Amino acid sequence: METVFRELAAVPEDELAALRADPAWQGRVAVVHTVTRELRAIAEAALDAEQAARITVPTLLLTGAESSEPSALEVEAVAAALPDARIAVLDGQHHVADVLAPEIFVEPVLRFLREE
């Protein structure tokens, strides 16, 4: 699980240490055997712009300002395909702000929900 976060999500060591200390860490470790299957599914999945264009529900996409470039590009591609999508960039955050900085994570989520 450490390798997944370190190598695939580019989570820095200090954040990885915080994740290991999180109560959910043992649950993540228990299901690490599913990661290979999930990575295959992600690699085989393609964004269908025509299908995405039919999704009209307002959508909020979150990304960390420090997230790896592939993640940021994927978020931008999804936002471009959805007719009513917004991107919130979480300053100073990487991939797991929901766990490591919930107070930063929740603010744009609540603002989005209030607006909708």
Of 7, 1, 38, give the one whose Cα is nearest residue 20. Answer: 1
- pTM of full prediction above 0.85: no
pLDDT at residue 84 greater than cutoff 90: yes
Task: Give the per-residue pLDDT at 61.
Answer: 96
Q: Which of 7-16, 51-60, 64-73 holds the top average pLDDT?
A: 51-60
Place of tokens 């978020």: 75
Look at the chain and report how many structural domains it folds into. Answer: 1
State residue 85 phi and psi, 5-degree precision: -110, 145
Give dist(CA 54, CA 83) in Å, integer. Answer: 8
Give dist(CA 55, CA 57) in Å, integer. Answer: 6
What are the DSSP calls for 12-31, one per residue? -HHHHHHHHHSTTHHHHHHT
E runs forming strands in the chain: 59-64, 85-90
Domain that holds residue 79: 2-115
**What do you get for the CA distance between the two ends of the chain, in Å?**
36
Are 95 and 10 in contact by the 8 Å Cβ rule? The answer is yes
pLDDT at residue 68 greater than cutoff 90: no
pLDDT at residue 110 greater than cutoff 80: yes
